[in-house]
Structure formats: C-alpha cells, structure tokens
A and B are shown apart, each in its own frame.
Chain A
Amino acid sequence: MIDEVLKSDLQKQGIHVLCLETAYNWGRANSVWPLTFGLACCAIEMMAASMARFDLARFGAEVFRPSPRQADLMIVAGTVTKKMAPLVVRLYNQMPEPKYLIAMGACAISGGPFKPGYNVLKGIDRFLPVDVSIPGCPPRPEALIHAIMRLQEKILAQKLTGPDRPRHLNAAVPGEFPVPVYGASDLEPPNNPEVWHPPLIKR
C-alpha cells in the first residue's frame, strides 16, 4: 500500500495512484445497470427517475436492461405478491454476479398498505438479501437517486480479498437463492432462514 503523504503529493502533481480494488469498485459503482422490472406504482417513480427531469444517467445507472443476464441491480419497485415472489427470486438468480437489490417503497420492504392481504409477501427481504431499502409510498425519484448513491458508497467500500469480501467473490457461498414454490395456503418455505431473521421484540 502506498502511504497517504506520497499519494497526496503525487496527486498535487497530477498523478493519481490507486490500487486494483479501488479501480474495480470505481468502475462498478459508476455503471450500475438496473433490470427493467416494475411491479406496481413505485415503478412509475422509477421511470420518472430515469427520465430527463431527474436523470439517473448522471450516476451511470440509466441503462435499464431488459434481460437479467445484463443487469447488476434489481430494483424491486412495488408490491410483491406471493404469486410473483418465486419469479422475482428466479430473476435475481439469473442475474450475473456481482448483483445488488434495492427494495423500493413500503410494499417491497414490508408489504406496506397491503400487508394484511393474504396474497402479499411481507417484504422481499424474506427471500433475497436487500442492499438498500427506500421508505415511502411511493418514494420520490430523488429518494431512488439517494438509494443509488448509497449503493455506490456500499460498492466502493467492498473488499476484493479477505474474509469480509462480498459474496460474489467468495467461492464457498452459493450463487443462487432457493426459489419458493406455491403451497396450499402460502409459499413454501414462507421465508429463507439464511437471509431473513424475524425481528426480535425486546420488552
């Protein structure tokens, strides 16, 4: 590792020194390609965020890909019904790694206003690891841009090697998440215990 004094001295002379990890993360953080994937009204705000007024292109995230094979980011924008949940998980499995997931809006986080519904999944975090959650019903496009910026910060902080490296760099961690099946009255299993831990209520 180059020491910081020398690095800043070089930077004053116009020479930027960076390690492979920084270059790798910098490139990934500035070209996050989301999957064209909207489930409900939050998707309208997502579309607005990608259009000229809010212009997600400023953050390199405007290239919405119609195929999961080309996408880095899944924005779960809207209510995930239990009918739709296996499809969401399967699509996430089909995305190449490294992949990230933004839960956009109250429905994707917890079921939102439709939480009492028998057919509504109470949050996509029951099956998939969520990187950034955006509250709101629906969140403003600025909120989505904020989430993209948070995600960029997260990507920039990821280690390339070592025990705390992200899951896509770890060969021991499986790349796919189990897809739930339609059961008699609920999805089976109703959640992925490796991803979701029920909140502990302390009294």
Chain B
Amino acid sequence: MAANQHPYLVLLLLIVVAVTFAIGPLAAAWAWARFFSPNKPGKDKNSTYECGLESKGDAWIQFRSEYYLYAIIFLVFDVETIFLLPFAVSFTQLSVGAFAAMIVFLLLLVEGLAWAWRKGFLTWK
C-alpha cells in the first residue's frame, strides 16, 4: 500500500484538496467573468463610501486635544479592569517583582484619575 510506505501521502493529499478548495471558486469566478459577465468598474462603484452621499473633505483633520481626557477615563475604568481580573485571580502566587510592577501600573492610572478629577471631568454639568 502506498499509504503504508509513505505516511505523509495523506498530508500531501490534504494540501492538494485544501488548495483546490481555496483556488477553485476563485478560478470559477474568474472564468465566469471572463466568458460571460464582463467587469464594469466605475466612479461610483469604486468609491469607498457607500451610503449614497459623496464623501467630501479630507480625513486628515485636527481633533481637539481635550479629548485626551476621554482616553484617560477609558484607560482607568475599562482597560484597567482587564488587567485587574487576572491580577486578583493570581494574587497569592505573585512574586514581589510582579506585585510591584502591577502597583506601579495601578498608581499611574490612579494618577490619571486624580488628574481628571482635578480637572472637574467627573462632575456632572
């Protein structure tokens, strides 16, 4: 048997099937377009925006620098949670170095919170 003599033959077969499966539909679509359905690109069809309106202006605009406070609040109340959960789970097994690193990270974020508080960002206006 060929499969007994060459144990990797199955793998080769699998690769051939996988490549055919990937390329086959693309080739069929290409052949279909080539023989029956011609490609008709155009200005509207190739445009990026697709809600019917034309895009205008430049994407390279200036943002208000005050928005950095939103970024800080997002880090403090959202991103920090992702790190706090594994920190809490493995709290007892942590080395002193890891604990100190985490505390430094937390203090940095607390500093951000204090800054936002000081700026009056947490008061409802």
Contact = CB atoms under 8 A, between A and B. Distances in A.
B45 A93 contact: yes
Interface in B12-51: 36-38, 40-45, 47, 50-51
A176 B37 contact: no
A176 B45 contact: yes
Interface stretch (A84-92, A119-127, A136-144): A84-92
Contacts of A174: 40, 42
Contact of B52 (A87, A168, A171, A175): A87
Contacts of A161: 36
For chain A, which range describes its interface: under 10, 10 to 19, 20 to 34, or 35 or more residues? 20 to 34
A41 B114 CA distance: 52
B42 A93 contact: yes
B40 A160 contact: no
B44 A176 contact: yes
A78 interface: no
A57 interface: no
Interface residues of B, number: 15
A171 B34 CA distance: 11
B66 interface: no
Contacts of A98: 37
A169 B93 CA distance: 68
A116 B42 CA distance: 35
A179 interface: yes
A91 B47 CA distance: 11
Contacts of B38: 169-171
B53 interface: yes
Interface string A84-118: 00111011011011100000000000000000000
Given A90-B54, A91-B51, 15 more contacts: A67-B50, A69-B50, A87-B52, A87-B53, A91-B50, A94-B44, A94-B45, A96-B45, A97-B40, A98-B37, A168-B37, A169-B37, A169-B38, A174-B40, A176-B40
Interface of B: 36-38, 40-45, 47, 50-54
